[in-house]
Amino acid sequence: MTLSQPSYEALTEHTAITLAKKLELFDSNADLVCHEIGDGNLNMVFRITEPAAQRGIIIKQALPYVRVIGEGWPLTLNRAVIESEALRHFAKHVPQFVPEIYYTDAAYAITVMEDLSHLTIVRTGLASGSTYPLLSTHIGEFLAKTLFATSDFAMGPQEKRELALQFHNPELCKITENFVFTYPLFDHETNDVEDILRPTAEALWNDQVLLLEAAKLKQTFMTHAEALLHGDLHTGSIFASDEETKVIDPEFAFYGPIGFDVGLFIANTLLSALAREESDRAALLFHITQVWDVFTITFSNLWRQNNVDDFAQVEGYLEYQLQHIWADAVGFAGSEIIRRIFGLAHARDIEAITEDAHRLAVKRNAAALGRDFIVNRSLYESPSQIVQALQQVV
Ligand code: ADP
Ligand code: MG
Ligand code: MG
Ligand code: MG
């Protein structure tokens, strides 16, 4: 089945229904309803349902520009290909943690996939009090299996470099380099700093010790092609219930440092924990220790069983790898925290704190933690030290 119109056209709720029928995803005479439900910054997401049959599908379409900005900020349509290829790739290793893909089309920049509406976006659920007891167990396994499988420890050099070329993703990497690593550490026009917090932000912008370590982390992001990353694994890219977890939205996928995916998950969980009342925080802090515990156990088992590197069984090599992944993760978590406080896209659960004094205190605490994670990343030996650091500032 191919689309009759060969060139790109932005879908509407009406043409999305026509497309779904053309793809034979529903009977030609089915009564369908379509709503555009996208709430992200970049893309359109159409949910098409057949109420009579209680079934639905999702069509995600990239626009040739950034959705929240408009045509003034063009962005490659190829991100839709990256996203669908990454989801297919993850499905080889962890099908239980990604949506099923029904159809993709590069010219239309669409991914047609399983409707996950029975689950909730984790960022939203955490903000309304859910805790998702299995979230970190699932994400730890997702990360260890997808990242090990695409590393030099599981792939030969030819195969790995071909995969890396397929996920050459410079435009999306540039967004991360600018909006996560660079702009939040300078007085840049895209930042979003509450007036009263300006002195706090300025202290970071003038902190030479911090800037040097932040520069090193950015360079690690740009140059350490360790594995195929998700690349945008914040809590808005995860659907969950108490039983299930599904990772979506890997349009930033590229070959990068393993600690980046781990660090983003930890940072966003930590920000949600900071936004909560103390009595209610433990269930979220658990995710920080658990994601790393499960990652370590799963990654180590894969290493022992499947490592193709001649050096694999050399004493201390696995421990060395885990240690540097962890230190990277702590540093990247720091970068992500600072950008969610002072950069363009803030942590929604912190912004939702209406009491000014409380919100400002949470932001100051987060900024202090972010700075310490970046500067002292190699001194944090384990996730429990991250949790302790948080408990000391609040
Ligand atoms: P963006 O790249 O623009 O951030 P996302 O992939 O994060 O787009 O999707 C935006 C929103 O669309 C999600 O927060 C979710 O509400 C909805 N959505 C995306 N994929 C699905 C899906 N498979 N099932 C149900 N809803 C989805
Ligand atoms: Mg998204
Ligand atoms: Mg979203
Ligand atoms: Mg996205």
Our CA dihedral for 287, 288, 292, 294, rounded to 10 degrees, sits at: -10
**Is 147 labelled a binding residue?**
no
Query: Which pLDDT score is estimated for 1?
Result: 47
Residue 292 Cα to ligand 2 middle (Å): 23
Contact 64, 75 (CB under 8 A): yes
C-alpha distances in Å from residue 137, one per residue of 24, 291, 292, 372: 37, 6, 9, 26
For the record, the structure tokens of 35 come out as: 């709503």
Question: What backbone torsions phi and psi does residue 105 show, to the nearest 5 degrees?
Answer: -145, 120
DSSP symbols for 191-243: ----GGGHHHHHHHHT-HHHHHHHHHHHHHHHH---EEE-S--SGGGEEE-SS
Residue 317 Cα to ligand 1 middle (Å): 39
Residue 111 DSSP code:
E
For the record, the structure tokens of 191 come out as: 């930042």
Q: Scan for tokens 């239980």, then name that residue.
A: 96
Atom nearest to 114 CA in ligand 1: 23
C-alpha distances in Å from residue 123, one per residue of 158, 260, 262: 38, 19, 16
DSSP symbols for 66-83: ETTTEEEEE--TTHHHHH
Q: Scan for tokens 């639905």, then name that residue.
A: 56
Query: Which pLDDT score is estimated for 41?
Result: 86
CA-wise closest residue to 322 among 118, 108, 153, 109: 153
Query: Which pLDDT score is estimated for 2?
Result: 56
Distance CA 189, CA 186 (A): 9
Query: Which pLDDT score is estimated for 305?
Result: 95
**Is 371 labelled a binding residue?**
no
Tens digit of each residue's pLDDT, the chain (394 residues): 456 667 899 999 999 999 999 999 999 999 999 999 998 889 999 999 999 999 999 999 999 999 988 899 999 999 999 999 999 999 999 999 999 999 999 999 999 999 999 999 999 999 999 999 999 999 999 999 999 999 999 999 999 999 999 999 999 999 999 999 999 999 999 999 999 999 999 999 999 999 999 999 999 999 999 999 999 999 999 999 999 999 999 999 999 999 999 999 999 999 999 999 988 899 999 999 999 999 999 999 999 999 999 999 999 999 999 999 999 999 999 999 999 999 999 999 999 999 999 999 999 999 999 999 999 999 999 999 999 999 999 8
Q: Give the domains, in start order, of the chain with CATH numbers.
A: 13-114 (3.30.200.20), 120-393 (3.90.1200.10)
Q: pTM, whole model, 2 decimals? A: 0.97
Query: Which pLDDT score is estimated for 26?
Result: 96
Residue 303 Cα to ligand 2 middle (Å): 31
Distance CA 336, CA 371 (A): 10
Q: What is the ipTM of this complex?
A: 0.97
Report residues whose beta carbon is within 6 angstroms of any ligand 1 atom. 37-43, 45, 58, 60, 99, 113-117, 121, 237, 248-249, 251
